[in-house]
Amino acid sequence: MKNREGKKIFFSLILVAILIALAIPLMAENKKEKSKDASKVDEGYTAKDAWKGKDAEAKSNYAMYCSPCHGDTGKGNGPQAEAMEAPPRNHTDGNYLSTRTDDQLLKVIKGGGLAMGFTSSMPPFDNLLTEEEIKGMVKYVRTLCNCEYKKIGAVK
Ligand code: HEC
């Protein structure tokens, strides 16, 4: 009888131990989740982070929509370049792109070459990209030419 009591206690202790062992990782997980949320609130979503996000978005938009003609690195040598009536602009040419304002670039990307007196080989993107995304493309092109209007090597 005494022995059976002992066994009972022993097994309930094991059961409790197993339950605790199972509960600890769950609690830890919960804590992690909570601290993640807390860091979000604490640090906030800074403008810098927002730009990081936009840069990544612009980069992937460029790879998807522009590189077929302008090339992966913007040199104007994408796979479709040879079939073009006019060569796609070399976006790494700071000498040339520093003669163009952001507004002019925006207009071409938005309305296509025809909007700026160039050829229709440069298609309009206002039906594919939002205004915000097109502004991101202008900024991205500026990183490729490492230039601003009238300034070469201005953008790093
Ligand atoms: C179908 C090919 C093609 C695609 C796709 C394309 N472009 Fe172009 N792009 C051209 C060609 C060709 C020109 C030059 C037009 C000319 O000289 O008449 C050009 C010119 C430009 C210019 C020159 C503007 C200037 O002031 O000289 C910019 C900026 C530009 N493209 C940006 C882009 C961006 C950004 C994308 C992607 C969103 C893109 N292009 C997608 C073919 C293309």
Rg (CA), the chain: 29
Ligand 1 site residues, Cβ closer than 6 angstroms? 65-66, 68-70, 80, 84, 86, 88-89, 100, 104-105, 108-109, 113, 118-119, 121-123, 125, 137, 141
Residue 107, domain member (yes or no): yes
φ and ψ of 147, to 5 deg: -150, 160
Question: What is the pLDDT at residue 8?
Answer: 82
Q: Looking at the predicted structure, is the pLDDT value of residue 94 above 90?
A: yes
- Residue 117's CATH number: 1.10.760.10
Residue 128 CA, closest ligand 1 atom number? 38
Site of tokens 């605790």: 20
Residue 93 domain-assigned? yes
Place of tokens 């490492």: 146
pTM, rounded to two decimals:
0.74
Q: Let me know how long the chain is.
A: 156
Q: How many structural domains does the chain have?
A: 1
Residue 146 lies in a domain: yes
How confident is the model at residue 33, as a pLDDT?
Answer: 54
- What is the C-alpha to C-alpha distance for residues 91 and 81, in angstroms, rounded to an integer? 13
| 57 in any annotated domain | yes
Q: Is residue 103 part of a domain?
A: yes
With 0-12 / 13-18 / 19 or more C-beta atoms within 10 angstroms meaning exposed / middle / buried, residue 1 is exposed
Least confident of 37-46, 63-72, 84-93, 103-112: 37-46
Listed in sequence order, the DSSP H helices in 44-126 are 47-61, 67-70, 94-97, 102-111
Residue type present at position 95: N
Higher pLDDT, residue 30 or 98: 98
Note the pLDDT of residue 153.
92
- What is the CA(89)–ligand 1 centre distance, in A? 6
CA pair distance 68, 64, nearest whole angstrom: 8
